[in-house]
């Protein structure tokens, strides 16, 4: 942990990021947008009943809406923050100098990943007091809030690792960004579409009653939206079990799969950052 805080790349990147006013303006606008969304939601919901009160169910709905909004935001912003961390250094001609230092490839890659997602972490942490508003009205447990926070953090690291990988192996930042966004599009939308198609196919070919579609499980477990929905509605989990016939909790499969993705992406990035002098080319 000590070495993490002594990571020169992380220290330098944080210094550079928080030196400009843009960072704080961005944070301000994000919190303003979130606040306005919250106020608008509360206004609309309280206006739908004659008494003008805000029901705990609404509070729960608001929390879910915000959580999905935040995860969508992570999926949208993380590639932009991470897919150029190495390639942009290469384009600015600062990478070679950095690579001739004695800093390890591990330290450089981890420093780059953490510094690039640090801004998003700040956005999520800064929005926690707004999320906590739901406790005034009830409907959400503190555990669920913590779960959503860690799930957001996990998703950030997954997308960030993929972004760093592409940034390391692809020389051009623009190509790296397009590649990372394509993967994110697949994770966010592609897996949902594939799951739906597989389910429909299973429905057509079903001979047994109740029909089971285990293939759906393997595409659905990659979808962060589904896992997020499971945090709020345990019934989602039961439904998945019913459809796929697989009893293994889908959120655990999600975490394991993406842990493997994180580890492989970072390992590959670390290996590819510097040439393998022993192997030669």
Partner 1 sequence: MIEIKNLSKTYGKFTALHPLNLEIEEGTVFGFVGQNGAGKSTTFSILSTLLAPTSGTALINGIDIMKKPKEVRKQLGYMPDFFGVYDQLKAEEYLDFYGASYGIAASDRDKLIPQLLELVNLSHKRNDYVDLLSRGMKQRLCLARSLIHDPKVLILDEPASGLDPRARIEMREILKELKSMGKTILISSHILPELAEMCDVIGILDHGKLVAQGSVSAIQQQLQSEKIIMVKTLDIAKTIAFLEENPRITKIELLEEKNGIQFLFKGKEKDQQELLKTAILNEIPIISFSEMESNLEDVFMEITKEVEFS
Residues that bind partner 1 (CB under 8 A): 6, 8-9, 11-12, 15-16, 19-20, 92-94, 96-104, 274-281
Smaller CB distance to partner 1: residue 93 or 205? Answer: 93
Smaller CB distance to partner 1: residue 171 or 274? Answer: 274
Q: CB of residue 115 vs partner 1: minimum separation in angstroms?
A: 13
Q: Around Cβ 15, how many Cβ atoms within 10 Å?
A: 10
**For residue 141, which of 132, 153, 151, 130 has the smallest C-alpha distance?**
132
Smaller CB distance to partner 1: residue 2 or 92? Answer: 92
Smaller CB distance to partner 1: residue 94 or 182? Answer: 94
Q: Are 82 and 160 in contact (CB under 8 A)?
A: yes
DSSP 165-192: HHHHH-S-HHHHHHHHHHHHHIIIIIHH
Q: CB of residue 9 vs partner 1: minimum separation in angstroms?
A: 8
Q: CB of residue 104 vs partner 1: minimum separation in angstroms?
A: 8
Q: Around Cβ 14, how many Cβ atoms within 10 Å?
A: 16
Smaller CB distance to partner 1: residue 173 or 195? Answer: 173
Rounded distance, CA 132 to CA 185, Å?
Answer: 30
Smaller CB distance to partner 1: residue 67 or 167? Answer: 167
* Coil/strand/helix, residue 58: helix
Contacts 24+ apart (CB under 8 A), 102-106: 103/8, 103/9, 105/270, 105/271, 105/273, 105/274, 106/270
Q: CB of residue 2 vs partner 1: minimum separation in angstroms?
A: 13
Residue 17 Cα to chain centre, angstroms: 20
Q: Are 272 and 168 in contact (CB under 8 A)?
A: yes
Q: CB of residue 262 vs partner 1: minimum separation in angstroms?
A: 25
Q: CB of residue 39 vs partner 1: minimum separation in angstroms?
A: 36
Rounded distance, CA 73 to CA 152, Å?
Answer: 10
């Amino acid at each position: 942990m000590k070495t993490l805080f002594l990571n020169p790349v992380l220290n330098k990147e944080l210094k550079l990021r928080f030196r400009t006013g843009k960072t704080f303006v961005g944070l301000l606008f994000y919190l303003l947008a979130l606040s306005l969304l919250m106020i608008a939601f509360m206004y609309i919901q309280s206006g739908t009943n004659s008494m003008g009160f805000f029901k705990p169910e609404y509070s729960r709905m608001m929390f879910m809406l915000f959580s999905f909004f935040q995860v969508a935001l992570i999926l949208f912003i993380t590639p932009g923050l991470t897919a150029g961390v190495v390639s942009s250094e290469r384009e600015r001609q600062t990478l070679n100098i950095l690579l001739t230092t004695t800093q390890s490839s591990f330290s450089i890659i981890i420093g780059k990943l953490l510094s690039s997602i640090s801004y998003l972490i700040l956005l999520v942490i800064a929005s926690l007091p707004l999320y906590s508003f739901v406790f005034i009205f009830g409907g959400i447990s503190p555990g669920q809030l913590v779960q959503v926070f860690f799930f957001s953090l996990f998703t950030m690291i997954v997308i960030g690792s993929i972004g760093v990988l592409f940034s390391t192996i692809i020389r051009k930042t623009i190509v790296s960004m397009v590649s990372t966004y394509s993967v994110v599009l697949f994770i966010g939308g592609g897996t949902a579409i594939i799951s739906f198609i597989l389910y429909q196919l299973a429905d057509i070919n079903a001979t047994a009653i109740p029909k089971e579609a285990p293939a759906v499980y393997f595409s659905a477990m990659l979808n962060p939206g589904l896992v997020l929905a499971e945090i709020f509605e345990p019934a989602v989990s039961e439904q998945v079990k019913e459809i796929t016939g697989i009893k293994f909790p889908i959120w655990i499969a999600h975490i394991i799969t993406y842990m493997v993705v994180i580890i492989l992406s970072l390992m590959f990035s670390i290996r590819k950052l510097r040439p393998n002098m022993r192997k030669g080319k």
